[in-house]
Structure 1
Amino acid sequence: MSQSCCTELTVLCNDELERPLFAEHGFSLLIEKPGEPATLFDTASTDLFIKNAKLLGKDLSKVENVVISHGHYDHAGGLKHLSAFAKNFKVFVREEIFLPKYSDERFAGVEWSTVRDLFDFVTVTERVVQISSSVYLFGPVEMKNDFEEPDSHFYILKDGRKVRDFFDEELNLVIDEEDGIILITGCAHRGIVNIVEEALQIFDKKIKLLLGGFHLYKAPPEKIEKVVEKLSSYKIDRILPYHCTGQLASERISALNR
């Protein structure tokens, strides 16, 4: 759990969490701010995020907006379990999220047909969209550098054939506050450095907190060092790596907070 000004961020699911919380491969984050609707960012793989919310005393029925960063099961798989609240949540996605997703030959997406009629899906079409007073979504970011691109083992099924997945549906979230922005990512498949640079360009404020999955668990050490060097240059107040960041990258990135 992290607090910034009056914003409260609660990690409801991650690959590792301290007991008595449950952990699974995936990510889910609850965003609460006085005077604004609560937002749920990603839902991990199962209903585990709901169980953790109960353990933490969080009432998910108060959530109005749900944001799904991309279409992999470990971020969208738990969405169907929100139907237990019998509430028409607004679910923000990009249209490309509904394409079937694969990791090599293994299906890595979700069966969207089981959830399309359960919620109020809001399709994001603009580069930046505001969903509450201080909460914005943006993406997909441009892939500008020469060391970040999506894992080549990921594919989508498009027009009847499997093609490489460049995560055109990837959404990132920003909480815009007076003293800076909070930047939240799901997996940063299009590159955490690319995402940070675009957030700085769009909002023209310092990043006081960066958190989420950075998808560096398979990255070679030289790539991790490039990412660490770039992140260091932005002078971000605090960075909290989760989920798919990987042990080595998490250690190197967390060291920037000292």
Structure 2
Amino acid sequence: MKIIVLSDNRTINPELETEHGLCVYLETENYKCLLDTGASDVFIRNAAKLHVDLTEVDYVFISHGHADHIGGLPAFLKINSKAKIIVSPKALNQKFYSKRMGLHQISIELDIETLKDRLLLVENEACIENDIHVYRSKSTKCAIPAGNRSLFKDKGNGLEGDTFDHELIVTFGNENLFVFTGCGHRGLQNILETIKSKTMHRICYVMGGFHLLDAKNGNVYETEQEITDLAKSLNKEYPQTEFITGHCTGENAFDIIKKTLEFKLIHFFTGYKL
């Protein structure tokens, strides 16, 4: 399996572009995939510099309907004529909003009619290929990220809190699993509980954002103790799992988790390869 981050908030390579978004290229023996598409066409320009041929991508998995994950899809569709788009129907043409740093829309509009032959809509779970599965996290056993409280969706007559029933998890592999969390809005522990309830296979890698935001403009989210408790729980429940994170995982949260997970926690960035 080959993994290259095409778009993220950070990079260590000055030749690559960054944005508040996430796009990961994943290649298996049989398939070439995109995990989200970032916020814009940044991932396309970075892919060219990283020698990734996006015209050969077979599948695009959209983790949820926020613009920093689906915003690059229109640009991708202009250069790729064959890839199937796997997405929750609840992520499409639903208006999402954030009140963090002032109310603003964080969704995009797509022409569903022109896409219908390429869409694979998944509301709950699906087997895409023998070694590729998609799930909606339904576990509520553990806490959800505090940052969710500033995220909303339009219900037609006003805004309501986003329940993230449009968020999908993707797993690759059979005996040894690679799990993509997107932003992890349903809570990292809940996501992993969902995977455990679906398969007995070992979770080897977990990659994506954990939505553990750093305090900003007077907004405080998880406490240091809450993040420490999360790290200890992950270390206990998943002692052989490596966690690769970035995007919406704050620097402070990363540093706190690192104290417990040590080498099992890795920071990704635009241009990161695994």
Q: CA deviation at 1:147?
A: 5.8
Distance 1:100 1:116 in 2: 18
Q: Is the 8 A contact 2:144 2:186 kept in 1?
A: no
* CA 1:195–1:70: 2 relative to 1, 3 Å: same
Q: Is the 8 A contact 2:228 2:257 kept in 1?
A: no
What is the 5 A alignment of 1:134-149? Answer: 134-146=131-143, 148=145
1:142-183, Cα deviation, whole Å (9 max, x unpaired) = 2222465661111101233211101101001111233x2111
State the AA in 2 paired with 1:102: Y
* CA 1:50–1:144: 2 relative to 1, 3 Å: same
4+ runs of 1 displaced by more than 4 Å?
146-150
State the AA in 2 paired with 1:30: Y
Could you say what secondary structure the match of 1:207 adopts? strand
Residue of 23, 29, 46 corresponding to 1:28: 23
Q: CA deviation at 1:17?
A: 1.4
Q: CA deviation at 1:121?
A: 1.6
Is 1:61 matched up with 2:55?
yes
Tell me the residue number matched to 2:157. Answer: 160
What is the 5 A alignment of 1:191-230? Answer: 191-218=187-214, 219-230=222-233
| Higher normalized contact order (CA 8 Å, seq sep 6+, divided by chain length) | 2
Tell me the residue number matched to 1:242. Answer: 246
Distance 2:50 2:168 in 1: 27
Distance 1:204 1:118 in 2: 35
Task: Please report the TM-score for the alignment, with normalisation by the length of structure 1.
Answer: 0.89
State the AA in 1 paired with 2:71: G
Unaligned runs of 5+ in 2: 215-221, 264-274
State the AA in 2 paired with 1:8: K
Is 1:11 matched up with 2:8?
no
Distance 1:103 1:137 in 2: 26
* CA 1:23–1:140: 2 relative to 1, 3 Å: same
State the AA in 2 paired with 1:202: K
Taking only the aligned residue pairs, the percentage that are identical comes to 29
Is 1:181 matched up with 2:177?
yes
Greater shift, 86-95 or 203-212, is seen at: 86-95
Is 1:49 matched up with 2:49?
no
Task: Please report the TM-score for the alignment, with normalisation by the length of structure 2.
Answer: 0.84
Greater shift, 8-17 or 144-153, is seen at: 144-153
Q: CA deviation at 1:122?
A: 1.5
Distance 2:172 2:80 in 1: 28
Q: Is the 8 A contact 1:147 1:223 kept in 2?
A: no
Distance 2:71 2:113 in 1: 13
Q: Is the 8 A contact 2:231 2:257 kept in 1?
A: yes
Distance 2:231 2:158 in 1: 37
RMSD value over aligned CA atoms? Answer: 1.8
* CA 1:128–1:257: 2 relative to 1, 3 Å: farther
Could you say what secondary structure the match of 2:180 adopts? strand
Q: CA deviation at 1:206?
A: 2.0
* CA 1:236–1:27: 2 relative to 1, 3 Å: farther
Q: CA deviation at 1:86?
A: 4.8
Could you say what secondary structure the match of 2:226 adopts? helix
Distance 1:252 1:128 in 2: 33
1:99-154, Cα deviation, whole Å (9 max, x unpaired) = 110002210111224x65246121113x3211123111111332222465661111
Distance 1:55 1:196 in 2: 34
